[in-house]
Amino acid sequence: MTDCDLCGKGLPTLIPVRTYPPLFKFAYPEGVWKGLCETCLDSAQKTYLGVNKDEVSCRNNKCALCGHKGRAHPVELQVPDFSKGTVKKEVNLCMKCLESIDKAYIKFKREQIECSACGHGHH
């Protein structure tokens, strides 16, 4: 089991997303892999699609995935809670992480379609 890097939900497998933490840019120039659950991936993808690239309505904050300080966009998550089931929580993600999430989302959905087309029923 491993935990989603955004909501903390424990799942056997997560969707890999490449991030570029500024703190590790010399040690890991190719980026660092983070794992997201499908729910968080969907929420972040929805935010990415709704972001107007020229818009300045984002926040000056720290990115929840890579730790970059600067412009970040709020993403609403469904965080598991033992007493309430799920709780809505907002985290901030920078544009670079949102772009990486978009690439991971497209790849994940393409793999799901290919897998369902082959008829093996992996999911």
Mean pLDDT of the chain: 87
Whether residue 109 lies inside any domain: the answer is no
The pLDDT value given to residue 33: 95
Residue 26 has pLDDT above 70, yes or no: yes
The β-bridge partners of 10 are: 3
Average pLDDT over residues 51-80: 82
Average pLDDT over residues 83-105: 92
Residue 68 has pLDDT above 80, yes or no: yes
What total of structural domains would you count in the chain?
Answer: 1
- Six token digits for residue 116: 């369902």
Whether residue 115 lies inside any domain: the answer is no
Entry pTM: 0.84
Higher-confidence position of 82 and 91: 91
Domain range for 52: 2-101
Whether residue 119 lies inside any domain: the answer is no
Distances (CA, A) of 80 to 34, 64, 99: 19, 17, 25
The pLDDT value given to residue 121: 52
